[in-house]
Amino acid sequence: MKHLLTVVTFLPLGGAVALMLVDRGREALLRGAALAIAVATFLISLPLYFGFDAGSADYQFEIVARWMPSLGVGYHVGIDGISLWLVLLTTFLTPIALASAWHAVEDRGKEFLITLLTLETGMIGVFVSLDLFLFYVFWEAMLIPMYFIIGVWGGANRIYAAIKFVLYTMVGSVLMLLAILALYYQHGAMTGVYTFDLPTLARWVMPPDRAQSLMFLAFALAFAIKVPLFPLHTWLPDAHVEAPTAGSIILAGVLLKMGTYGFLRFCLPLFPDASLAFGPWIFALAVIGIVYGAWVSTVQPDIKKLVAYSSVSHLGFVMLGIFTLNVQGLVGGLIQMVNHGVSTGALFLMVGMLYERRHTRLIADFGGLWTVIPAFSALFLVVTLSSVGLPGLNGFVGEFLVLLGAFRVNAWLAAAAATGIIFAAVYLLWMYQRVIFGELTQEANRHLRDLSPREWALVVPLIVFIVWIGVYPAAFTGPTEASIEALIAQVESKASVALRAPDGGRVAVSRP
């Protein structure tokens, strides 16, 4: 199907517009329709996987159309091994997030469904855009639905968290906008082609000068805020704690990946010299983030905040993997993105289930739950262990590959990062122990009900992937390797070309 990506991208938005026309009184219809749209989007996105040529590093399912030819802006979308999983992750998690809010969102349910579906279009758009203008449009536009989800349906301190989220992201992204413009004009001035088309820009060898460093830093800041890379993470705990469960799932599962994806898709191929130059710094920050996130998680009294800080730690691994700039590290980082989306999404989902039952998330308010809700406890254990990185489950694969890659770059830093896995076991298992095991101390916990069929249906698909990736990772790493290898080759060849050129690479070299 020629327009598959366009359909996948805009189906949720179309559905959202259709939902606007439905009367708000008919809640069951609204919910059912929204879920149907989200599931349909997932099903339609499956051919992206089945039709994907794993051996090719080229963009696939590409669509190129004219949009603003006089500015060099086009509608150019496509996926490769890097974005394939992120698109599928988005279409997979959105129905789960929608269904998780089945009863949790009572107030203005119609608006909630519309906002979430709009958000899905924005997220998919970010991952499939191959035009910098188009990418920026999705990147910024997606901010607003998330702002609403946190601000309208969030907890007590939601307005503060929502504004903080938007302003943080905004500062980063306006600087990126400036860098996009600078890149556009520099490329145009040197080659005579004014375009925002990413593949065209990525083929161009930019001179390794101060301009490249500044552009890299502007892009990197925008992405690092989104990841979030230490020390730019302070918006994340607020946003997560205040967001409703569905918002947290999407935020952790997909939104944070936009930052790491941005590094892979834009920073490395566009600014290879600067990436190599600043790589060690980001490498170091990633290690600090891994250890710091783990330490801070350990002392959190609130389960959701604990999981939020664990995200800082886990995404540190992704960043570490990316800036190893070798195949193991990059593939590991990419798989770790998917892992984090699935595992942390599942953690937030299950924490949300606890919250729905008890209206508290404090670890101290629980204890001894395994006698009351054994099924929940069992599934929660699997999810927790996957986040810990137990071999046989998904987390292990990503972290192992990342550490393997990192060890080749700097053994000491890799060793420091490895402590993050140990601390992960500490904070997650200690949390699990205090919440699930022990004596049933609180009377209110005695009559909690176990998982409902709907909740089973939400958690089981996630656990399937947790086990699947853990047992047979090749199914997931396979399609990514060609693209990752091509990316590394591109970075290295561009950087070496720029170094070899006698006048600092001023001559634009176009590579096939």
Partner 1 sequence: MTPVPVALGPLAAVLVVAGTGMLVLLLDLLPPRESKTHLGTLALAGLCAALLVTLLRWGSGGRAFRDMIVLDHHAMFFQIVIAYAAALVVLLSMDYLRRVGAETGEYYALVLFSTSGMLLLASAGDLIVVFLGIELMSLSLYVLAGLFRRDLESTEAAMKYFLLGAFASAFLLYGIALVYGTTGTTNFDRIAGAVAVRPHDPLLLVGLGLILVGFGFKISAVPFHMWAPDVYQGAPTSVTALIATGSKAAMLAVTIRLVVSVFRGSQPDWGALLWVLAVLTMTVGNVVALAQSNLKRMLAYSSIAHVGYMLVGIVAGGIPGAAAVLFYVFAYVFTTIGTFGVITLCERDGREAVEVGDYAGLGRRSPLLALVLSLFLLSLVGIPPLAGFVGKFYVFGSAVRAGYLWLALIAVLNSALAAYYYLRVIVYMYMREPEAEAARYTPSFAGVLALTVSLAGIVLLGLAPGPFIDLAQVAVTPLLR
Positions in the binding site for partner 1 (CB under 8 A): 67-71, 108, 111, 133, 136-137, 140-141, 143-144, 147-148, 151-152, 158-159, 162-163, 166-167, 170-171, 174-175, 177-178, 181-182, 184-185
d(CA 224, CA 203): 24
The residues with which 343 forms a beta bridge, in sequence order, are: none
Nearer to partner 1, 153 or 309 (CB): 153
Nearer to partner 1, 200 or 384 (CB): 200
* Residue 220 or 315 with smaller CB distance to partner 1: 220
CB of 291 to partner 1, least distance (A): 31
126 vs 424 by CB, closer to partner 1:
126
Q: At its nearest, how many Å lie between partner 1 and the CB of residue 151?
A: 5
Q: Measured from the CB of residue 24, what is the shortest distance to partner 1 in angstroms?
A: 8
Angle at Cα 415 formed by Cα 412 and Cα 418, nearest 5°?
Answer: 155
Question: Shortest approach of partner 1 to residue 231 CB, angstroms?
Answer: 19
CB of 169 to partner 1, least distance (A): 9
Of the pair 160, 430, the CB lying nearest partner 1 is at 160
Side-chain-side CA neighbours of residue 204 (13 Å): 27
Query: Count of CB atoms within 10 A of residue 377's CB?
Result: 20
Among residues 20 and 43, whose Cβ is nearest to partner 1? 20
Least distance from partner 1 to the Cβ atom of residue 228, Å: 17
Q: Which is nearer to partner 1, 151 or 237 (CB)?
A: 151
Q: What does the angle CA 308 – CA 312 – CA 314 come to, to the nearest 5 degrees?
A: 105
Whose Cβ is closer to partner 1: residue 40's or residue 144's?
Answer: 144
Start-to-end CA span in the chain (Å): 27
CB of 499 to partner 1, least distance (A): 26
Alpha-carbon distance of 416 to 295, in angstroms, equals 13
Of the two residues 185 and 472, which places its CB atom closer to partner 1 in the complex?
A: 185
**Cis preceding-peptide flag for 374 (omega within 30 of 0):** no
Using alpha carbons only, give the angle 3, 9, 15 rounded to the nearest 5 degrees. Answer: 110
d(CA 466, CA 392): 9
> 102 vs 194, which CB is nearer to partner 1?
194
* Least gap, CB of 148 to partner 1 (angstroms): 7
Task: Give CA–CA dist 460/208, Å, rounded.
Answer: 49
Of the candidates 142, 165, 163, the residue with the CA atom closest to the CA atom of residue 94: 142
CB of 221 to partner 1, least distance (A): 12
Say how many C-beta atoms besides its own lie within 10 A of residue 21's C-beta.
6
Helix (H) or strand (E) holding 16: helix 4-20
Residues near 108 by beta carbon (within 8 Å), at least 6 away in sequence = 152, 153
For residues 120 and 114, give the distance between their C-alpha atoms in angstroms, rounded to a whole number.
10
Nearest to 11 by CA among 128, 103, 99: 128
What is the DSSP annotation of 461-475?
Answer: HHHHHHHHHHH-THH
> Shortest approach of partner 1 to residue 251 CB, angstroms?
18
d(CA 248, CA 369): 23
